């Protein structure tokens, strides 16, 4: 863990000079705007007086007492609490939104319009504004459906392909749809800002959880579209590659991810039976998928001779992708050992908060960690002083 990042707190990032009015809450929007903030954007988080829901999604809490869920998506931001039904707060929200380069929101379709904060209203005052709306199921017939990650995992097909073939459908162990949607929102906003440098005009971009999931299911949705048949659950095995799954060894599970015939040849050579690479059942990936059960039984027999750690080291040394199933803590330790700096310390005054680092690396304009996740309404006075100063 890097002890501090104060040496990089003042580096101008690639989005320096961009002001973001963040009306979003929970995860997809806040995750996107946190990444913008890491890259130098000035992100002002607009919260209701009760705060973002995730402030109360605890335990666990970090060393500063904040819910770790909220902390995961809100560093480097300033917080102002505004009640949009209050006349004075509504005026402040309008001032913020019309002066921003980017406005991000994930209210139900129509809510921003009721407060004069929709793109048509804002662009009339500021034609350069880029607005990003995040919904669960789009702004058409699905506009009234609630956009919760679990619901979209179910309705969008992800649960149908997750879990054991003979078991129940299962959700993924993190709000993956929200994260994928947040990344699409980040990409869309940056593309719109780039286009603005040519046209001088902002625009309204929309992303939704269902479409983001269908795009993120890549080969699985491609299979359904290309064949007309929906894939099913295959547990930890891959529907189109073998061996590509956890396998038991002498003391635990080892993930083996063989992606081509050359890797398979190296695998069986290390396991002591190189002739398997010329066996008609296993010589090609198509054959290995067809004879998956027989291959798995053979590999289990061979791998039982040694520990998962021993096999992982030996296989990795010859270019066969293999490794143990780590806990999240062990994964962080692995990233540390590889020099990836997965954890940083963010500071606000005397408060210190450990955070997962931004995964993007830039040669000249790196991500910076200027402040810990804010307290509710912490920056109301600071924001209005800044606005008054221009």
pLDDT higher than threshold 70 for residue 39:
yes
* Residue 231, both tokens: 């894939």
Residue among 47, 23, 25 at smallest CA distance from 103: 23
Question: Alpha-carbon distance 88 to 68, whole Å?
Answer: 32
Question: Alpha-carbon distance 76 to 101, whole Å?
Answer: 17
Q: Are the beta carbons of 313 and 321 closer than 8 angstroms?
A: no
271-303: pLDDT as tens digits: 999 999 999 999 999 999 999 999 999 999 999
The H or E element that residue 206 is part of is: strand 204-208
Give the pLDDT confidence score for residue 246 in this predicted structure.
Answer: 97
pTM over 0.85: yes
State the residue for tokens 């988080």: 45
Cα dihedral 131, 201, 192, 21, rounded to 10, equals -30
Q: What percent of the chain has pLDDT over 70?
A: 95
Highest CATH level, class, for 244-334 = alpha beta
Question: Alpha-carbon distance 287 to 284, whole Å?
Answer: 5
pLDDT bucket at 7, cuts 50 / 70 / 90: very low
Residues assigned a catalytic role? 178
Signed CA dihedral, 248, 250, 251, 257: sign only: negative
Highest CATH level, class, for 6-218+363-388 = alpha beta
Q: Are the beta carbons of 216 and 157 closer than 8 angstroms?
A: no
Residue among 157, 183, 185 at smallest CA distance from 170: 157
Q: Count how many Cα atoms sit within 13 Å of the Cα of residue 56 in the half-sphere of its side chain.
A: 4
135-163: pLDDT as tens digits: 999 999 998 899 999 999 999 999 999 99
Domain ranges of the chain: 6-218+363-388, 244-334
101-121: pLDDT as tens digits: 999 999 999 999 999 999 999
Q: Are the beta carbons of 205 and 131 closer than 8 angstroms?
A: yes
Q: Are the beta carbons of 141 and 213 closer than 8 angstroms?
A: no
Give the pLDDT confidence score for residue 9 in this predicted structure.
Answer: 45
For the chain, helix (H) and strand (E) counts, in that order, are 15, 11
Higher pLDDT residue, 145 or 201? 201
Question: Alpha-carbon distance 243 to 315, whole Å?
Answer: 14
- Pairing state of beta strands 77-81 and 42-47? parallel
Q: What are the CB-based long-range contacts (under 8 Å, 24+) for 292-296?
A: 292/237, 292/242, 295/242, 295/243, 296/243, 296/245, 296/247
Q: Are the beta carbons of 100 and 17 closer than 8 angstroms?
A: no
Q: Are the beta carbons of 121 and 113 closer than 8 angstroms?
A: yes
pLDDT higher than threshold 70 for residue 259:
yes
The answer for residues whose C-beta is within 8 angstroms of residue 189's C-beta and 6 or more apart is 32, 36, 102, 104, 130, 132, 205
State the residue for tokens 């809510």: 111
Higher pLDDT residue, 382 or 388? 382
Beta bridge partners of 312: none
Higher pLDDT residue, 99 or 348? 99
Distances (CA, A) of 90 to 27, 39, 98, 371: 24, 29, 12, 27
Give the pLDDT confidence score for residue 347 in this predicted structure.
Answer: 82
Give the pLDDT confidence score for residue 4 in this predicted structure.
Answer: 42
Angle at which helices 28-38 and 176-199 pack, to 10 degrees? Answer: 50
């Amino acid at each position: 863990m890097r002890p501090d990042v104060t040496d990089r707190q003042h580096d101008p990032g690639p989005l320096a000079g961009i002001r973001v009015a963040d009306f979003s809450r929970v995860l997809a929007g806040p995750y996107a705007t946190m990444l913008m903030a890491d890259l130098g954007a000035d992100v002002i988080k607009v919260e209701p007086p009760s705060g973002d829901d995730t402030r109360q999604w605890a335990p666990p809490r970090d060393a500063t007492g904040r819910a770790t869920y909220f902390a995961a998506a809100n560093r480097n931001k300033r917080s102002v609490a505004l009640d949009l039904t209050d006349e004075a707060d509504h005026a402040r929200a309008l001032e913020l939104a019309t002066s921003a380069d980017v406005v991000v929101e994930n209210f139900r379709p129509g809510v921003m319009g009721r407060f004069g904060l929709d793109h048509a209203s804002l662009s009339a005052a500021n034609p350069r504004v880029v607005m990003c709306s995040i919904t669960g199921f789009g702004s058409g017939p699905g506009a009234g459906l609630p956009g919760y990650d679990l619901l979209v995992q179910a309705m969008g097909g992800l649960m149908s392909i997750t879990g054991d073939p003979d078991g129940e459908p299962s959700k993924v162990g993190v709000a993956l749809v929200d994260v994928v949607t947040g990344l699409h929102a980040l990409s869309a906003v940056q593309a719109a800002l780039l286009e603005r440098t040519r046209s001088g005009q902002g625009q309204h971009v929309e992303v939704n959880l269902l479409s983001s999931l269908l795009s993120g299911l890549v080969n699985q949705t491609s299979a359904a579209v290309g064949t007309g048949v929906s894939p099913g659950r295959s547990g930890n095995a891959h529907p189109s590659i073998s061996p590509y799954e956890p396998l038991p060894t002498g003391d635990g599970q080892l993930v083996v991810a063989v992606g081509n015939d050359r890797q398979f040849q190296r695998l069986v050579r290390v396991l002591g039976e190189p002739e398997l690479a010329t066996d008609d059942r296993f010589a090609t990936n198509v054959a290995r998928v067809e004879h998956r059960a027989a291959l798995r039984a053979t590999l289990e027999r061979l791998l039982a001779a040694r520990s998962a750690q021993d096999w992982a080291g030996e296989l990795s040394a010859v270019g066969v992708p293999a490794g143990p199933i780590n806990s999240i803590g062990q994964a962080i330790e692995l990233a540390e050992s590889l020099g990836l700096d997965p954890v940083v310390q963010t500071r606000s005054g005397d408060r210190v908060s450990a955070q997962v680092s931004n995964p993007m690396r830039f040669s000249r304009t790196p991500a910076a960690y200027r402040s810990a996740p804010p307290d509710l309404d912490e920056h109301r006075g600071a924001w209005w002083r800044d606005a008054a100063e221009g």
